Structure 1
Amino acid sequence: MPTAESVGAMARGREVVIVGDPKQLPPTTFFSTSGKNEEEEDGIAEDLDNILEDALALSMPETSLLWHYRSRHESLIAYSNRTYYENSLYTYPSPQELKSKVSYEYVEATYGRGGTRSNKKEAEAVVHEIMERLKDEKRMNDSIGVVTFSMAQKDMIEDTLQEALIAYPEIEEKIMKMEEPVFVKNLENVQGDERDVILFSIGYGPDEEGKITLNFGPLNRENGWKRLNVAITRSKKEMKIFTSIKPEHMDTSKTSSQGIHDLKGFLEYARRGSLPVDLEEVRSMTDKNTLSDAIRKELEASGLKADTRVGASKYKVDLAVVDERNPSEYLLGILCHGESYRNARSARDRDILQESVLKGLGWKILHVYPMDWMENREKEMDRILGKVRSLLSGNPGEEKTLPEP
């Protein structure tokens, strides 16, 4: 909220609580910019002074909300968490943690730098993805949002989508009835929105002569990185990036823009499917003789595959058993009163909140208590293997024979 519009309300109270995220987009002139300027500047708005940043500049008392709940898969928030929040956000891993929900599709196309200032082939690829999802019975109920870097690319996608819907009036009718309708927005006005699936159209790319310039509109500005952070944190279930630029085509040595540097890093992350190894994380896992490590060794001796410390943030599931029927998913999460349990601030967080969120994400959870393990390791292993058998069989009353060690 602009500072000038805030002081009147603040003056009427005895105390004031200012809520916001300085890592995301501040108030801008987007909604008050004239149509002429939008056309000339491609919808790029000026950032305004705001009460949140002014309060932070005065070193007023502050606190941070560290738990992240929007994303149902950590890969959707992992790059933002590492790049902008110093990995301080606590996010919950998913049973599908082994496979990223951020995907990358390269579209060989040209960007109309001197003409339309848009990328038609990329727009067609985005619309094709929308139509395929809305035809698929398994995916048609997921809400969809499209984020673009420019007004010209936004308009191109909207026009292409309208043309595609002419042949499928039943899909157009479905879109109109959706609780969360399909939206197409640019970086300047997508803040506050969220959808199950976000399709991200970069738009910019090589021109007709094959030349790539590092002019990405609003991303080049001082707060361009904040716009990128907004765009890549809108998804709840899945995000797909459509781009005509490969990361290696971006020579970031020629620009000081943090937004451009971060975009290259994000494209590398989307294509690779994971973040680079965090050396601090490796050090924290080295030479640890924990309960979860002991159980993992016993499980592996029984022919099962298991991972310890599952998760991309500070919150970890102590141990997770890989589903032998589908190696890209976890079958069972085992909580051993490990580091995440010890670091919880309250009994409610430890014993109720954490487990309820994990179950909401689809985890099957089993507790193994350190004292029980010390008193009777064999009994606890029988209990764990019994739970694995019941999950594999799909019937708690049946047991599946596990491989001999």
Structure 2
Amino acid sequence: MAGDDKQLPPTSFFERVGDDEGDGETDVSDFQSVLELTKGCGAFNNLGLKWHYRSRHEDLIAFSNQKFYDGKLVTYPSAQSDGSEVGVEFFHAGGVYRRGGGADNPLEAAMVADRVIDHFTNRPHLTLGVVTFSTAQAEAIYDALDKARETRRDLDRFFDNADRLHAFFIKSLESVQGDERDVIIFSIGYGPDEAGKITTNFGVLNKPKGWRRLNVAITRARQRVEVVASLRAGNIPPSENESVEHLRAYLDYAERGRKSLAVDLGASGLGPESPFEESVVGVIRSWGYVLECQVGAAGYRIDIGVRHPERPGIFALGVECDGYQYHSAPAARDRDRLREQVLQGLGWRLHRIWGTAWYRDRKGEEERLRAAIENAVREADDTDAGVAPTRLGRPKVETAPVEHSSVPSWSTEYVLAEVGQRPRWADPAEKESRSDLASAVQKIAEVEGPVHIDLIHHRLRSAWGIGRIGYRVRDNIDAAIELAEVARDDAFVDLPNRPVDRVRVPANGTARKVEQIHDDELGLACAMMLRDVGAVSREELIAALARLFQSERSGAAESVVTCFIALTRDAHRSTW
């Protein structure tokens, strides 16, 4: 059994509560996950996995390592210590949290959208994801990004990618676990409200062990995290909730960097560990190179890091000596292969010097060392970012796209009604044309019902050449619906007493927004999906519903699924 109890347990959205009260003994329901159950039962030995691979820059994991993992993770320094593609950076949005309505922060969402556009403009080779505290803020960012994309259609290819492992996403804390991208933008959302007041209510973060959600959010990136917030650490009032205090500490860390952790995680400040290393350091410095001893933050340090002469933010070469770090490895496998793979995967070029060789053939070892440094600098100059990362040598996993049926067997393609051209004498804005409009509405309802009023307007505009649906035309259409032999249910029109017994999917450019699909049709689609698979998570049902109707936005689908689940539960209760 492997897992991380410092991150989120499985969701409890579909959790079923039994009717039995129990006999007071410990039950499996007392544990949030199978991992906690196995650790709590005492039947298994616990073995901590300490090596951390994902973060290609130590700043990405340094906060979590100290605050959540007690500094026990072994992390590896990156060859690129600073730059626009690595590390953690804070952006202050100066937005307002709409506590009275919307529960979002539009100004902050607009800054996030700008950061997304900036990323794909300047870093198109890196994958990107956006994480928010709430679904409301995620929807606000979707809206802001839609607006920002209107003037940057050249970037559409980055938003149309459906690759689950690499595509751009915007997700809330509750649904992002398991995802990772090169760069993550973390939108806090909360901040001063309309009255300028800041509270310590941060939604899901305030739940028991809510800090695990924070830990998930800030560890999704491989290279860079951008924190966009409308408040600073000092703006958050004191709280007894440990999770709120962790958020305050992380905002401080994002803005001030490593010094906020009250430990030296930058240049180690450590010198050579032996006279042998001192000798090597002296030789490298005599050649005019800038170097740093004991590069790293936790668990493993590179003995000597030689900086690139023209790009001081990049280490051109790592020099390892036959010293403490080498002999401290418990096994030759760790020492020779795994550490070298991890460090090369983080962008390091490595050169090893043996103490015995250094003293027996000093001239020859110095020539090898100088050649290694010059080659490393030259190779770094041949790449844009200093070094092309080497991936860890892991078994190749063959994948194949899942083939989704374009039209499920229980669905049918949406068919457009033939409305016909407008009669010569008919003027849609005049009352005398209401009977002609009623005939057109009747045809639309017979073929497309239940049909949304917006779609009726669109059909009439196309067929009758109506330039704009003004208030007079709108009133005439409403009156025509009353004249026609149809029934109106709020914004939908259909033949009277006709049951909804089909799910219609887009075909030939007939895609509908989820809001333009009748609740009964959406509910039928949910029921048929569940019948096909038997059981499915809430998130998967939302995604499947949006995919079925070719909707780019999942927010409306999410509300439909929530309503469907509530109605299903009510139906079950009525039969008890």
TM-score band, normalised by shorter chain: 0.7 to 0.9
The aligned amino acid for 1:343 is S
Within the alignment, does 1:65 sit opposite 2:71 as a pair?
Answer: no
Match in the other structure for 1:305:
290
Match in the other structure for 1:331:
316
TM-score by length of 1: 0.82
Match in the other structure for 2:116:
130
Deviation larger for 258-267 or 293-302: 293-302
Q: Is residue 273–residue 323 contact of structure 2 (8 Å, CA) maintained in 1?
A: no
Q: Name the SS of the counterpart of 1:274 in structure 2.
A: helix
Q: Following the alignment from structure 2 to structure 1, what is the Cα–Cα distance between the partners of residues 106 and 257?
A: 27
Match in the other structure for 2:66:
82
Match in the other structure for 2:9:
26
How many matched pairs? 362
Match in the other structure for 1:54:
37
Shift of the 368–344 alpha-carbon distance from structure 1 to 2, 3 Å rule, reads same
Match in the other structure for 1:242:
228
Q: 1:213 aligns with which of 170, 191, 199?
A: 199
Q: Following the alignment from structure 2 to structure 1, what is the Cα–Cα distance between the partners of residues 89 and 267?
A: 26
| RCO higher in structure (CA 8 A, sep ≥6) | 1
Q: Is residue 29–residue 48 contact of structure 1 (8 Å, CA) maintained in 2?
A: no
Q: 2:356 aligns with which of 371, 386, 403?
A: 371
Q: Following the alignment from structure 1 to structure 2, what is the Cα–Cα distance between the partners of residues 364 and 265?
A: 34
Shift of the 310–283 alpha-carbon distance from structure 1 to 2, 3 Å rule, reads closer
Match in the other structure for 2:366:
381
Q: Following the alignment from structure 2 to structure 1, what is the Cα–Cα distance between the partners of residues 242 and 162?
A: 37
Deviation larger for 139-148 or 155-164: 155-164
Alignment of structure 1 residues 120-159 onto 2, 5 Å: 120-136=106-122, 139-159=123-143
The aligned amino acid for 1:333 is G
Q: Is residue 149–residue 218 contact of structure 1 (8 Å, CA) maintained in 2?
A: yes
Q: Name the SS of the counterpart of 1:177 in structure 2.
A: coil
Which structure has the larger Rg over C-alpha atoms?
A: 2
Q: Following the alignment from structure 1 to structure 2, what is the Cα–Cα distance between the partners of residues 145 and 394?
A: 31
Question: 1:321-377: CA deviations, max 9, x gaps?
Answer: 111201111111001133332222321221122112222322121111111223344
Q: Following the alignment from structure 1 to structure 2, what is the Cα–Cα distance between the partners of residues 161 and 213?
A: 28
The aligned amino acid for 2:6 is K
The aligned amino acid for 1:156 is A
Seq. identity, %: 37
Match in the other structure for 1:4:
none
Match in the other structure for 2:104:
118
Segments of 5+ residues of structure 2 without an aligned counterpart are 17-29, 382-576
Q: Following the alignment from structure 1 to structure 2, what is the Cα–Cα distance between the partners of residues 220 and 114?
A: 20
Cα offset for 1:31? 6.1
The aligned amino acid for 2:56 is R
Alignment of structure 1 residues 286-365 onto 2, 5 Å: 288-289=273-274, 291-365=276-350
Cα offset for 1:277? 4.8
Cα offset for 1:279? 7.4
The aligned amino acid for 2:302 is V
> After the TM superposition, which parts of structure 1 deviate over 6 Å for at least 4 consecutive aligned residues?
279-284
Within the alignment, does 1:273 sit opposite 2:257 as a pair?
Answer: yes
Question: 1:24-67: CA deviations, max 9, x gaps?
Answer: 1112324679xxxxxxxxxxxxx962221122223331112211
Q: Name the SS of the counterpart of 2:175 in structure 1.
A: coil
Q: Following the alignment from structure 1 to structure 2, what is the Cα–Cα distance between the partners of residues 259 and 378?
A: 57
Q: Name the SS of the counterpart of 2:351 in structure 1.
A: strand
Cα offset for 1:280? 11
Question: 1:223-282: CA deviations, max 9, x gaps?
Answer: 111111111110112110001111121233xx1211111111111211123253537999
Match in the other structure for 1:101:
87
